[in-house]
Amino acid sequence: MRKGCDTLFWNRKNQIPTGIGAADFAGAGSPLKFNSVEFRDGQQSLIATRMTTEDMIPLLSRMDAVGYDSMEMWGGATFDVAIRFLKEDPWERVRTFKKYVKKTPLKMVLRAQNLVGYKAYPDDIVEKFIEKAAEAGIDIFLIFDALQDLRNCESAFRAVKKAGKKIEGSVQYNISPFHTTEVFVQNALEQEHMGASLMHVEDMAGLMTPNAAYELISALKKALKIPVHLHCHCTGGMAEMAYWEAIRAGVDGLDVCVSSMSMGPAHPPIESFVSALKGTSRDPKIDVGQFKSINKDFIDIRKKYSNFETKLIGVDVGCLEHQIPGGMLSNLESQLFAMKLYDRLPEVLEEVTRVRADMGYPPLATPSSQMCGAQATTNVLTGNRYSMVSKEIKDYCRGMYGMPPGPVDPVLLEKALGEEIPSTKKPADLLEPGFEKAKAESSCLARTEEDILTHALFPNYAPDFFKVKYGL
């Protein structure tokens, strides 16, 4: 036998190597789980969230049969895009999914106190929204706060528990002087104590290196009693390597897209990992053949929405600096393109890096990514940094979004607030109850409690949407 061959044996039946390499996984014997994100973050990253429910329906039964652990299909940008651009009721999308998806739990992404909007909402709005979302068919609430200020998650956690649904906590991975493995682990532990039954690690900008993935997942698995899932975007070209190292570290699940909706600013393809793990202790035992027809239909959908297709094909190593998430990149592209200013995108991305530092290094999850991106765009187009400061940045500096990870730059603070002193209180504690007020404001058009919530979240867009919905 040749030198070295005594450590590797060939399994002819399965045509895969067995032995040391095949067993080199923490958590051996535990099949890897997958969360489908095509209908939410996948399309948000690739086609600016423009896919309609009608286009999704033909795929749902086949996607339900794949064997996913969950299907993320609501929340994020899906809600406001539905009412603003698609003129369809986002609440009906959940009910429609529930008709076709019989086995796979449905998941939504909830921006904690910001829900599916871009600011903090009163506790009564948070509680009612979660109650109605659970009634519509959401089984798992993936709750995150963009600043990782867990005070902003308390009301949402309580409401999900009351509804009897599952809480998935979230750690927003990013790189800054204020974010370390120890900080991420401590934050995750606090969420576990608050009631999370699953922990989600979100690498929204595709920054995570393979070594960082192994280190963080290993630390979380050691510290937590609950399962850990990893979510990476392929923007930086390292997501698949990061996933493999996470598997070695014992990660319980991965967020994936089918291959025709993968890569670029989206997510790694499920087929690659199903194939790579075949015959190992982490084998999910999912049939790759079933993706053929699914991929064909998604290809057709992408062609239909080609006008919204991201231009960022391949790898953008610049994400290691600007740290903008995949979904934000595609929307920023489309906005600049519509303004006939797409050639200024590199300047905007460079300015994002500077603005984020000025803001105290917030993770660029929604809504901090939108705030940072919009302010960076304004700075570039005016040619005078902070000569115009957005209302959202002013509220951020006031403390209306929570506590920034690091100190806000004094120049930005002065430009935004002048002599005003920022608040250190929980943002929701500064808000009056909002449901009855929204009910009164929308009484001429809203017919259900879901309508009232839609108005409460997006009062500028809801009236036009209701007129279309009810044929007024």
Which one is the CATH code of 319-428: 1.10.472.90, 1.10.760.10, 3.20.20.140, 3.20.19.10? 1.10.472.90
What does the pLDDT look like over 86-130, one tens digit per residue? 999 999 999 999 999 999 999 999 999 999 999 999 999 999 999
pLDDT at 337: 84
Q: What is the pTM of this model?
A: 0.90
Least Cα distance to 134 among 105, 103, 112, 102 occurs for: 105
CA 46 – CA 10 distance, rounded (Å)? 40
CA 236 – CA 264 distance, rounded (Å)? 9
What does the pLDDT look like over 258-297, one tens digit per residue? 999 999 999 999 999 999 999 999 999 999 999 999 999 9
pLDDT at 20 over 60: no
35 and 253 Cβ atoms separated by less than 8 Å: yes
Confidence band, pLDDT 50/70/90 cuts, at residue 315: confident
Question: Can you read off the two tokens belonging to residue 362?
Answer: 């917030």
Confidence band, pLDDT 50/70/90 cuts, at residue 210: very high
Beta-strand pair 106-110/140-143: parallel
Confidence band, pLDDT 50/70/90 cuts, at residue 245: very high
Mean pLDDT for 74-80 is: 96
Confidence band, pLDDT 50/70/90 cuts, at residue 310: confident
pLDDT at 19: 36
pLDDT at 3 over 60: no
pLDDT at 335: 79
pLDDT at 182: 97
Confidence band, pLDDT 50/70/90 cuts, at residue 323: confident
Q: What is the mean pLDDT of the chain?
A: 91
pLDDT at 2: 40
Residues of the chain with pLDDT > 90: what percent?
81
46 and 310 Cβ atoms separated by less than 8 Å: yes
199 and 192 Cβ atoms separated by less than 8 Å: yes
Tell me which of 26-35, 235-244, 317-326 is least confident: 317-326
Confidence band, pLDDT 50/70/90 cuts, at residue 370: confident
Distances, alpha carbon 324 to alpha carbons 339, 347, 348, 388, in Å: 20, 14, 11, 22
Q: State the alpha helices, DSSP H only, in 152-209.
A: 154-163, 181-194
Residues of the chain with pLDDT > 70: what percent?
93
pLDDT at 29: 62
CA 250 – CA 246 distance, rounded (Å)? 6
pLDDT at 81: 97
What does the pLDDT look like over 384-426, one tens digit per residue? 999 999 999 999 999 999 999 999 999 999 999 999 999 999 9
Counting Cα atoms < 13 Å in the Cβ hemisphere of 390 gives 15
pLDDT at 27: 57
Q: Is the peptide bond before 410 cis (omega within 30 degrees of 0)?
A: no
| Residues in the chain, overall count | 472
Higher-pLDDT residue of 213, 13 = 213
pLDDT at 21: 45
Confidence band, pLDDT 50/70/90 cuts, at residue 339: confident
pLDDT at 364: 87
- 268 C-beta neighbours (distance < 10 Å), count: 23
Confidence band, pLDDT 50/70/90 cuts, at residue 366: confident
What does the pLDDT look like over 132-187, one tens digit per residue? 999 999 999 999 999 999 999 999 999 999 999 999 999 999 999 999 999 999 99
CA 159 – CA 141 distance, rounded (Å)? 10
Beta-strand pair 8-11/16-19: antiparallel
pLDDT at 311: 76
Bridge partners (DSSP) of residue 87 are none
Residue boundaries of the structural domains of the chain: 31-305, 319-428, 434-469
What does the pLDDT look like over 403-413, one tens digit per residue? 999 999 999 99
CA 65 – CA 69 distance, rounded (Å)? 11
Which one is the CATH code of 31-305: 3.20.20.450, 3.30.1280.10, 3.40.109.10, 3.20.20.70? 3.20.20.70
pLDDT at 22: 44
Q: What ranges make up the beta strands (E) of 26-100?
A: 33-36, 70-75
CA 253 – CA 33 distance, rounded (Å)? 4
Least Cα distance to 291 among 267, 269, 313, 314 occurs for: 269
Residue type for 111, please?
A: R
